[in-house]
Amino acid sequence: MRNIKFVSIGTDKIRPLKKLADKENYKFSIIADEQAKISKEYNVFGKPIDYDTIKSELAIPSTYLIDRNGKIVWRYI
> In terms of pTM, does the model score above 0.75?
no
State which residues form the domain around 23. Answer: 7-76
Mean pLDDT of 57-75: 79
Give domain status of residue 1, yes or no: no
Give domain status of residue 2, yes or no: no
- Residue 13's domain is classified under what CATH number? 3.40.30.10
Give domain status of residue 27, yes or no: yes
In this prediction, what percent of the chain has a pLDDT beyond 90? 19
Higher pLDDT, 77 or 18: 18
Res. 15 pLDDT band, cuts 50 70 90: very high
The rounded distance, in Å, linking the Cα atoms of 12 and 31 is 9
